[in-house]
Chain A
Amino acid sequence: MQRSDREVIEALKAGEPWALDYFYRANAEKVLSWAIRLGGPYVDAEDVAQDVFAVALRKIHQFRGDARISTWLFAITRNLISNARRKATLRRWVGLDTLPELPNPGSAPDEEVQTLRRRRAIQLALERLGAKPREVLVLMDMEGRTAPEVSNMLGVPTGTVYSRLHYARKAFATALEREGLGRKELFGSVAVARGDA
């Protein structure tokens, strides 16, 4: 059952039992995706996502409903990711942190290992973009949002959104190449053999 943002927020504020479950289910995948794509390989996406929900629920009474829930959650995610990336960078500088190891084949299902390896490569390609172009690429191209919507989420003019998208696309195409992500790696051998790509 689809519920409006206002309905969910009011129910959360009132402590309705269904609201928390609905809030999580409606937004979990979205928040996790942001954390994976914008956080990069050094940030633990699940930790960030949990923190996003914790912060959102802590501040739920301050949410006035002027923006959509997704916009509000994105703002929280963006802040937490920024903090997490800064900490990760510091840890790397002092040598306390390296790229998290991927599971070895055999220690996890093959499909999961493959998925994580491909994710890592795409994350590294996204890392080659600046934070601002990366946000626009993720929101517009990967999530299919419109420029005005992204403009609202990021608080920048629509022209700036297009500008960032322009350079994000150029940089991303180059970055995919540098990470060795061709059609075969991105689409899999089946698609290539089929001639889809």
Chain B
Amino acid sequence: MSKKIPPWIEQATNPTGTEIARLVQPIDPDFVQAAAEGTSPMDSEINRLLMSRASAVVAEPSAWDWIGVQPRQLALAGIAAAALLTAGLTGVMPQSYGPVGSPLGEIAEWNGSFELGPSIDVTADGILRVAQADRQDTVIDLIDGTAEFSVDPGGLYRHLLIRADDVEVEVKGTVFDVTVDDGQVWVNTTRGKVAVRYQGIESFVTADSGEWSTASIALQHVSAEPPALVPPVGIVVDTPVAARERIGVVATVSDVPMAAEAEGTDAETEAAATPRRRSSAADFVTPDRMMRRGENPEVMLGMWDEFLENHPDSVEAPEARLNRLKALAGLAPNKSTMREITVFTAITPEERTDLLEEAHLLQVGIGQELLDDCGSVTGSYHWLISHGDNKTTAMASAWLGLCGATDKEQALNALDRALALGLEDPALEARVREVYTVKEGSRATKGKRR
């Protein structure tokens, strides 16, 4: 391998402080200094501002400052009290305050923001239906997409229930968002605590200030039976690992069936007879696709981190590492996080060819012991797919299908299938055969790579 992949990428760990400092783009300090001086205020400007202090007035403290309540809050409380009093006197309780400016019913809000009563702000990128809105409860059905709710913990009418498919999210004061998309419901809490209920199981998603936590719930419309620990190959099961872990832990293993093969099922035979799911274009997790699927790469990264922390030795750990790297690679084009910086700068365009070859070799991995390698490099491989030109992407897509091979026979069968499908890359094939010392027609291998 001519180019070294940074260890933290290969090992699916976070970069160290030193690596971060090294990776931040350097800048000529003289230029910055000159720019700072060039935009510093002139003495004349400062003097004019200082002169304006003659007319400046320090506001007198108001009663509100002392009692800690602002007039607006008090006014709201007063209005609410008056409404309650009126209702009590007349014996007629208000049936509905309704979302401001909107009747009960369906609201299609794509990238819209609106108030829902006096205590709930909604920013929606989806379709909502206000099912109930009275002084006892506000009930929102999230039909599709994402909606972020900000609920004033001390506000009126703050009791809010979100229904996303069969999942209920209950809250009384927090900031969170809910996404329903493609058989998955995501609850991402940025402040406070929400209760998530699904099929009789309740769990809580909490977050302190500056942090976030997420629950992912894979919906089961076919069967209410607890899912098997590992889904069988070829069946798309967007189901978490264990029933109790459905909430709060991400364990979606639908698109990488390697662990099943590792258990020695009939996967090998089945894989040889049927196209592998991973060769499907739908499985290439580009950032755009992740976004469309409602899978924020950073959220995914956090969830796989959590999974690996809780289940480091589980049979799903290799694919968890792989998915973690996919999420990591998925961050690259967003250009918004530190992790992304490291990915983006660690793998330069010049390294693509070498990486691609290396990825090919690894993904035709021979033997169970290569599973981890295969998985970890697939993260980089996905990165290549998302950044490569059409040819690179097509080639990468074809060869990615070989990654699931867990022994020599499978690898060579997969190679033959790829070639039979016309997914040819003579130079690469020659390299593969050279490294694996594969003799044409013999399917025999000697020694191992590297």
Contacts and interface: CB of A to CB of B under 8 A. Distances in A.
B93 interface: no
A153 interface: no
B36 A142 contact: yes
Interface string A25-37: 1001101110011
Contacts of B62: 61
Given A46-B49, A162-B341, A169-B24, A157 B41 contact: no
Contacts of B28: 173
B65 A122 contact: no
B336 interface: yes
Nearest to A118: B38
Tier of interface size on chain B: 35 or more
Interface in A21-51: 21, 24-25, 28-29, 31-33, 36-37, 45-46, 49-50
B199 to A, nearest CB: 35
A165 interface: yes
B46 A141 contact: no
Interface in B34-56: 34-36, 38-42, 44-46, 48-50, 52-53, 56
Interface in B340-359: 340-341, 345
B61 interface: yes
B15 to A, nearest CB: 10
A165 B48 CA distance: 33
Interface residues of A, number: 56
A196 to B, nearest CB: 7
B45 A57 contact: no
A121 B38 CA distance: 9
B338 interface: yes
A32 B58 contact: no
Interface string B1-45: 000000000000000000010011111101110111011111011
Contacts of A115: 38, 42
B34 A169 contact: no
B56 A29 contact: no
Given A49-B49, A53-B53, A61-B61, A162 B38 contact: no
Contacts of A123: 39
A176 B31 contact: yes
A142 B35 contact: yes
Interface of A: 12-13, 15, 20-21, 24-25, 28-29, 31-33, 36-37, 45-46, 49-50, 53-54, 57-62, 112, 115, 118-119, 121-123, 125-126, 141-143, 155, 157, 159-160, 162-163, 165-167, 169-170, 172-173, 176, 186-187, 196-197
13 contacts: A24-B53, A29-B40, A53-B49, A54-B56, A58-B59, A112-B44, A121-B38, A123-B39, A125-B35, A157-B210, A162-B20, A186-B31, A196-B30
